[in-house]
């Protein structure tokens, strides 16, 4: 079944025909060309496809695209403003919190969601918020440090 | 992924009609976090899904008066939680924390942040995995489940709702509207604990809900277990033992009674033997936690 829907992604409205069974991840990547959400496990485990959905982190592989009509979707593409990187992006660079980079967009969106709700989280709260984001280069310490740095200096 | 159709009904009549299309396999959808992986793994092959989360009242968390169906005969107000309330909404709700602390704790343990922002209470109940975190909490809260079919609503005690792995008392076309938690006396204590292979993004190896309710001269106890039987279960034998007191020897007897009630299996997450050992550890920990809070 095909649905003609309007998706609000990164502040832009996209009118897009979507199939009932296609996930938000599939439509973002394959129909809108927004490729920062990564296709990892596609099972709600790895968090590589994390986007903000009405400001809250969700796995875009766990949402049907058709469900997302009327909701506000944000991906990493929305973070930099006027050529200036977001403080979280700068901090990830400064702390070398990136190795292969595959998990990074999801990490950034989970971190953004956390800081919006809790601007000064403890290290435990950061770990809890990132429990659904896996990094197989095992770089968690630097990622947590990068987020903590932003939280401490905001 | 196996293709299916998606419907979003505007009211309950339309939802019922969509859910009962002759010759079609149709599944109600709320949070999607069970349906999408199950369809992708081809364990569920629906012809269609019906998105019920926008139906009136399904996302409410509020206090309600006793009704003719659920919450019958209660003099104080009950806590109503709509079936499509998200796990994070439940975990963070002051009303749930106050009226059903054990359920708020259980909701906080489901999956991880991204899942808790999507997964719903009704979905956890409808999927009826024996490991579902919220289910043993509903059993110890003695919640009522309000369900709706074609025209009629009916109320099913949570204790009679879960019939087997992925089997509930729902009739074809019926959907869960929400649960109602009866009022509990001031000073009621609740604890949900679970063991899993990792702290986030995994199902419980054992889940345990415990409540201590002030009663004449002491406490009435309720113990619920998840992931150690085909359904979440209550442990009346241990509850009876604890009604006599909570000194160390009595607590040990209650732990043994809880262990005796568990009928775990070996699966990919743990062996039955490990689950039995964890029942002992979790029960001891939860009882000690609660006893430490008793004034």
> Sorting pLDDT into bands at 50, 70 and 90, what band is B106?
very high
Q: Do A62 and B1 touch (CB under 8 A)?
A: no
Same domain, A35 and A59: yes
- Between residues 22 and 41 of chain A, which touch chain B (CB distance below 8 Å)? 22-23
Q: Are residues A31 and A70 in the same domain?
A: yes
The answer to whether residues A72 and A16 belong to one domain is yes
For residue B161, pLDDT over 80 is answered with yes
Q: What is the mean pLDDT of chain B?
A: 96
Domain of residue A40, CATH code: 3.10.20.30
Nearest partner of B53 among A144, A150, A63, judged by Cα: A63
How would you list the strands of the sheet with B233-234, edge to edge? B189-195, B206-215, B218-226, B233-234
Whether residues B114 and A58 touch (CB distance < 8 A) is answered with yes
Residue B142, judged by CB atoms within 10 A of its CB (0-12, 13-18, 19+), counts as middle
B197 — contact with chain A (CB < 8 Å)? no
Residues A121 and A61 in one domain: no
Identify the CATH number of the domain in which residue A147 sits: 1.10.150.120
CATH of domain B5-51: 3.30.43.10
Among B2, B113, B200, whose Cβ lies nearest the Cβ of A57? B113
List CB contacts (< 8 A) between B33 and chain A. 44, 62
**Which residues of A are less than 8 Å from B5 in CB distance?**
1, 20
**pLDDT of A51-82, one tens digit each?**
999 999 999 999 999 999 999 999 999 999 99
First to last CA, chain A: 47
Q: Give the helix ranges, DSSP H, for B219-271.
A: 236-242, 248-261
- As for the ipTM of the complex, it is 0.97
Residue B201 is predicted with a pLDDT of 75
Residues 6+ apart with CB under 8 A from A135: A99, A103, A107, A143
Measured CA to CA in angstroms, residue B292 lies from A42, B211, B288 at distances of 43, 13, 6
pLDDT of residue A154: 82
Confidence at residue B67, expressed as pLDDT on a 0 to 100 scale: 85
CATH number for region B189-293 = 3.30.390.50
Sequence ranges of the domains in chain B: 5-51, 61-181, 189-293
What fold, for B61-181? Answer: 3.30.465
Domain boundary among A53, A78, A103: A78
Chain A, 46-105: which have a CB under 8 Å from a chain B CB? 47, 50, 53, 56-59, 61-64, 66-67
B174 SS3 class: coil
Return the axis-axis angle of helices A104-117 and A87-94, rounded to nearest 10°: 130
Among A34, A52, A78, the domain-final residue is A78
Q: Do the Cβ atoms of B32 and A63 come within 8 Å?
A: yes
**Looking at the structure, do residues A73 and A6 belong to the same domain, yes or no?**
yes
Residue A59 and residue A97 in one domain? no
- Please report which confidence band the pLDDT of residue B28 belongs to, taking 50, 70 and 90 as the band edges: very high
pLDDT above 90: residue B122: yes
pLDDT at B200 over 80: no
- The C-alpha of A17 sits at a distance from chain B's nearest C-alpha, in angstroms, of 13
Determine, for residues B115 and A110 on separate chains, whether the beta-carbon distance falls below 8 Å: no
CB distance A23–B51 less than 8 Å? no
Does residue A126 contact residue A144 with C-beta atoms inside 8 Å?
yes
Residues A19 and A52 in one domain: yes
CB contacts, 8 Å: A42 with chain B: 40
Q: What are phi and psi of A25, to 5 degrees?
A: -55, -50
Q: How many residues does chain B have?
A: 295
Q: How many domains does chain A have?
A: 2
Say yes or no: A53 and A109 in one domain. no
Nearest CA among B89, B91, B126, B84 for reference residue B108: B91
- Whether B40 contacts chain A with CB within 8 A: yes
Q: Is A20–B5 a contact, with Cβ atoms under 8 angstroms apart?
A: yes
**Residue B37 and residue A66: Cβ atoms within 8 Å?**
no
Residue B217 has pLDDT above 90, yes or no: no
Whether the Cβ atoms of residue B118 and residue A58 lie closer than 8 Å to each other: yes
Average pLDDT for residues A24-45, to the nearest whole number? 97
Same domain, A66 and A7: yes
A7 and A71: one domain? yes
Residues A62 and A115 in one domain: no
Q: Is the pLDDT of residue A138 over 90?
A: no
B39: chain A residues, CB-CB within 8 Å: 21
CB B222 within 8 A of CB B231: no
Q: Alpha-carbon distance B91 to B86, whole Å?
A: 9
- Please state, in angstroms and as integers, the Cα–Cα distance from residue A104 to each residue in A37, A39, A131, B34, B193, following that order: 9, 12, 14, 25, 32
- How does pLDDT run across A4-32, given as a tens digit for each residue? 999 999 999 999 999 999 999 999 999 99
> Tell me: the pLDDT tens digits for B253-267?
999 999 999 999 999
* CA of residue B113 relative to chain centroid, distance: 18
How many Cβ atoms are within 10 Å of B11's Cβ, its own excluded? 9
* Residue A107, domain extent: 87-152
- Assign B24 a pLDDT band (cuts: 50, 70, 90): very high
Local confidence band at B169 (pLDDT 50, 70, 90 cut-offs): very high
Mark which of A78, A100, A135 sits at the end of a domain: A78
Angstrom distances, CA of residue B279 to CA of A42, B43, B207, B231, B241: 32, 30, 8, 15, 17
What pLDDT, on a 0 to 100 scale, did the predictor assign at position B290?
97
DSSP state of A28: I
Q: What is the rounded CA–CA span in Å between residue B43 and residue B37?
A: 9
Over residues B14-41, the mean pLDDT reads 97
pLDDT in tens, A81-100: 999 999 999 999 999 999 99
In the structure, what pLDDT confidence band is assigned to residue A139 with cuts at 50, 70 and 90? confident
**Per-residue pLDDT tens for B271-291?**
999 999 999 999 999 999 999
Residue B130, pLDDT above cutoff 80: yes
Strand-pair partners of B49? B6, B27
């Amino acid at each position: 079944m095909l649905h003609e829907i309007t998706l609000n992604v990164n502040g832009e409205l996209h009118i897009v025909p979507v199939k009932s069974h296609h996930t938000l991840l599939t439509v973002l990547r394959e129909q809108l060309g927004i490729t920062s959400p990564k296709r990892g496990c596609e099972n709600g485990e790895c968090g590589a496809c994390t986007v903000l959905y009405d400001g809250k982190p969700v796995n875009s592989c766990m949402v049907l695209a058709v469900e997302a009509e009327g909701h506000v979707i944000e991906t990493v593409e929305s973070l930099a403003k006027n050529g200036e990187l977001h403080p979280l992006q700068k901090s990830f660079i400064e702390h070398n919190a990136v190795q292969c980079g595959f998990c990074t967009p999801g990490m950034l969106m989970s971190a953004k969601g956390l800081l919006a709700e809790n601007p000064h989280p403890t290290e435990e709260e950061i770990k809890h918020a990132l429990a659904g984001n896996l990094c197989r280069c095992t770089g968690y310490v630097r990622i947590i440090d990068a987020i903590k740095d932003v939280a401490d200096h905001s | 992924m196996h293709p299916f159709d998606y419907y979003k009904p505007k009211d309950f009549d339309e939802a019922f009609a969509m859910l009962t299309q002759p010759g079609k396999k149709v599944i109600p959808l709320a949070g999607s976090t069970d349906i999408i992986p199950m369809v992708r793994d081809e364990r569920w092959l629906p012809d269609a899904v019906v998105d019920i989360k926008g139906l009136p009242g399904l996302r409410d968390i509020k206090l309600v008066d006793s009704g003719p169906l659920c919450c019958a005969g209660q003099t104080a107000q009950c806590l109503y939680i709509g079936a499509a309330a998200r796990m994070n909404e439940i975990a963070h709700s002051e009303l749930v924390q106050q009226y059903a602390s054990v359920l708020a704790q259980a909701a906080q343990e489901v999956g991880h942040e991204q899942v808790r922002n999507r997964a719903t209470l009704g979905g956890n109940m409808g999927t009826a995995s024996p490991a579902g975190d919220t289910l043993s909490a509903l059993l110890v809260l003695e919640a009522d489940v309000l369900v709706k079919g074609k025209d009629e609503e009916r109320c099913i005690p949570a204790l009679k709702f879960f019939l087997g792995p992925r089997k509930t008392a729902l009739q074809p076309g019926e959907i869960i509207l929400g649960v109602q938690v009866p009022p509990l006396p001031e000073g009621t204590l609740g604890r949900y604990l679970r063991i899993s292979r990792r702290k986030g993004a995994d199902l419980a190896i054992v889940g345990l809900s415990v409540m201590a309710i002030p009663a004449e001269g002491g406490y009435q106890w309720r113990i619920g277990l998840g992931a150690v039987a085909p359904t979440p279960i209550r442990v009346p034998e241990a509850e009876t033992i604890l009604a006599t007191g909570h000194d160390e020897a009595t607590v040990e007897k209650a732990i043994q009674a809880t262990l005796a009630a568990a009928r775990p299996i070996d699966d990919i997450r743990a062996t039955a033997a490990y689950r039995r050992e964890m029942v002992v550890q979790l029960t001891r920990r939860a009882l000690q936690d609660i006893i430490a809070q008793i004034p």
